[in-house]
Amino acid sequence: MSNQILETNLQFNSGLKKRSSTRRAIIHHSASPDVPASTIHRWHLGQEWSGIGYHFVIRVNGAVERGRPVWAIGAHSGVKGNGDSIGIVLTGNFETGKPTAAQMASLVWLLSEYLPATYGKLTVAGHKDIMQTACPGRNFPWAELKNRLEVASVPDWMQKLMVKCGRAGIIDPAHGHNPNDTSTKWFVLAVMVNLALVMLKAVKNPARHDELIRILEE
Ligand SMILES: [Zn+2]
């Protein structure tokens, strides 16, 4: 996962305007092979724009390259989208392929840490939510992104508690529990049954007993 923005020092034609509000992040695919921000910059200059329309370009290897300056109004989602949003493009074509794990990790970092530090929590949308387009492609994993952003917004201590309970066998981490989910009665009962089993097994197994204490005391 990338933890930095790679500067690209692109030269823009005049005409960049300051954005007065920032409420949304809008996701795109490049519908192209894995290309650097400088190539997209050239494409957009060719359309007689000021330069690259997206603010960030996430490469297949997870690198996050700077596009248009983050303070400027972008050119990626038309009049309904550009005025209050940051445009993020993932390279690739997600009508046919899908984003790499490294791209998703960098996108989650941008949306859950880097951008909120300046703008607070942003609404996340796809280009297709704003305009008539397939972008960012039918294979873009919206459910995964939503789940990861929810989990990423959870405080550290809650995440640690979840990991601890997973390691102790009280919950099943494979089910991707979100600490802030509400619990139904069956879930509470399932956790109690798991806890009873874990404890009863530990009673008969001194090594497991000590291990369990170590996990829960951490
Ligand atoms: Zn798009």
Q: What is the pLDDT of residues 121-160, one digit of tens each?
A: 999 999 999 999 999 999 999 999 998 998 888 888 888 8
pLDDT of 75 higher than 90? yes
| Integer angstrom CA distances of residue 193 from 162, 168, 187, 206, 211 | 17, 13, 10, 21, 20
pLDDT of 1 higher than 70? no
Enumerate residues with CB within 5 Å of ligand 1 (an ion): 28, 127, 135
In the numeric block, the tokens 């190539």 are attached to 39
Residue ending a domain, choose from 152, 170, 195: 152
Q: Are residues 173 and 146 in the same domain?
A: no
Residue ending a domain, choose from 133, 152, 171: 152
Choose among 48, 52, 68: nearest CA to 5. 68
- Ligand 1 centroid from CA 132, angstroms: 10
- Ligand 1 centroid from CA 84, angstroms: 16
Residue 62 is encoded by which pair of tokens?
């997870």
Residue 61 pLDDT class (50, 70, 90 cuts): very high
Q: Are residues 115 and 209 in the same domain?
A: no
Q: Are residues 198 and 103 in the same domain?
A: no
Q: Are residues 41 and 54 in the same domain?
A: yes
Q: Are residues 45 and 69 in the same domain?
A: yes
- Ligand 1 centroid from CA 126, angstroms: 8
What CATH number does the domain containing 113 carry?
A: 3.40.80.10
Q: Are residues 146 and 165 in the same domain?
A: no
Domain count across the chain:
2
Name the residue with higher pLDDT: 152 or 67: 67
Q: Are residues 125 and 160 in the same domain?
A: no
- Residue 191: per-residue pLDDT: 95
pTM: 0.77
Q: Are residues 111 and 203 in the same domain?
A: no
Task: Calculate mean pLDDT across residues 30-48.
Answer: 97
Residue 177 pLDDT class (50, 70, 90 cuts): confident
Name the residue with higher pLDDT: 158 or 24: 24
Q: Are residues 148 and 160 in the same domain?
A: no
Residue 201 is classified by DSSP as H
Q: Are residues 72 and 171 in the same domain?
A: no
- Residue 2: per-residue pLDDT: 56
- Ligand 1 centroid from CA 50, angstroms: 17
Domain containing residue 166: 156-217
Residue 32 pLDDT class (50, 70, 90 cuts): very high
- Ligand 1 centroid from CA 129, angstroms: 10
- Ligand 1 centroid from CA 152, angstroms: 25
Q: Are residues 62 and 31 in the same domain?
A: yes
Mean pLDDT taken over the chain: 94
Crossing angle (nearest 10°) for helices 206-217 and 185-204: 130
| Integer angstrom CA distances of residue 77 from 83, 88, 122, 136, 201 | 9, 11, 16, 12, 58
Q: Are residues 120 and 201 in the same domain?
A: no
- Residue 164: per-residue pLDDT: 92
Residue 172 pLDDT class (50, 70, 90 cuts): confident
Strand order in the sheet with 56-58: 5-6, 64-66, 56-58, 85-90, 24-29, 123-126
Residue ending a domain, choose from 152, 186, 206: 152
Task: Calculate mean pLDDT across residues 103-123.
Answer: 95
